[in-house]
Amino acid sequence: MDQHDERRGRELVDWIDAHLGVRCARCSLELCAHELLFATALGFRREPLCSRCAASETGASDLGTLRAHLRGHFERRACYRFAWKHADELEPRCALREVPAGGPPARAGTLRAELPHETWDAGELGCGELVLDLRLRMRALGAGEILELIARDPGAPEDLPAWCRMTGHELVDARPPRFLLRRRSD
């Protein structure tokens, strides 16, 4: 694990430790460490949601598939693998430890020219902070509108396609650090 991934992994672990036992902002279910990681990856860090409520909020059609996509994403990112292992150690009997890693491999979107409705320079925001703010910005767009995102975090080329697959938004173009995302129709 390189220094960047190690720092991000430790940040995730510290965040989990500080929020362990917090309740879902929607249904009040007490969140385990694994649920906290799911919430972070989906952009629900400020008001953590359980994966069931997060699936509802993002429009995911199947909770099991969403969890498998997240686990697949975690397996491809050293910082999330590190945090998932920590969650396993904290909660060895948690049923979510057994969620299989699945979903398609991360890949960039098609290279089409689209005019954005909004532009956001996220700088070097990474992991949870990036997807949290991105979720809010996408929510502010109308269905089918395009956000031009400038993201310089080294993990963005993998994080953003995975986030789009998990939330139903479309990655229209990916030429790091520039990404075009189309808001899903609800």
Q: Is the pLDDT of residue 66 over 50?
A: yes
What is the reported pLDDT for 36? 95
Mean per-residue pLDDT for 54-69?
84
What is the reported pLDDT for 114? 56
Structure letter (DSSP) for residue 98: G
> Which of these is catalytic: 24, 32, 50, 127?
127
Please give the distance of CA 66 from its chain centroid, rounded to a whole number. 11
Put the strands of the sheet holding 178-182 in their side by side order. Answer: 118-123, 146-151, 178-182, 170-175
Q: Which residues pair with 173 in a beta bridge?
A: 180
Q: Which residues pair with 180 in a beta bridge?
A: 148, 173
Q: Predicted confidence band at 108 (pLDDT cuts at 50, 70, 90)?
A: very low
Mean per-residue pLDDT for 149-175?
91
Q: Which residues contact 98 (CB under 8 A, 6 or more apart)?
A: none
Tell how strand 118-123 and strand 146-151 pair up. parallel
pLDDT digits (tens, 9 = 90+) for 25-46: 999 999 999 999 999 999 899 9
Domain residue limits, the chain: 3-98, 118-182
Q: What is the pTM of this model?
A: 0.67
Q: Predicted confidence band at 103 (pLDDT cuts at 50, 70, 90)?
A: low
Superfamily holding 118-182: TusA-like domain (3.30.110.40)
Contact present, 90 and 51 (Cβ < 8 Å): no
Q: What are phi and psi of 48, to 5 degrees?
A: -55, 140
Return the higher-pLDDT residue of 7 and 127.
Answer: 7
Q: Is the pLDDT of residue 110 over 50?
A: no
Q: Which of 56-60, 88-92, 99-103 has the highest mean pLDDT?
A: 88-92
Q: How far apart are CA 136 and CA 134, in angstroms?
A: 5
The rounded percent of the chain whose pLDDT value lies above 90 is 53
Q: Which two tokens stand for residue 15?
A: 């965040």
Q: Is the sign of the CA dihedral 77, 51, 165, 144 positive or negative?
A: negative
Mean per-residue pLDDT for 134-146?
92
**Whether residue 24 lies in the annotated active site:** no
Contact present, 184 and 146 (Cβ < 8 Å): no
What is the reported pLDDT for 173? 87
Best CA proximity match to 124, nearest among 181, 176, 86, 69: 176
Structure letter (DSSP) for residue 102: -
Contact present, 92 and 11 (Cβ < 8 Å): no
- Of 46-50, 84-88, 136-140, 174-178, the one with minimum mean pLDDT is 174-178
Q: Is the pLDDT of residue 80 over 70?
A: yes
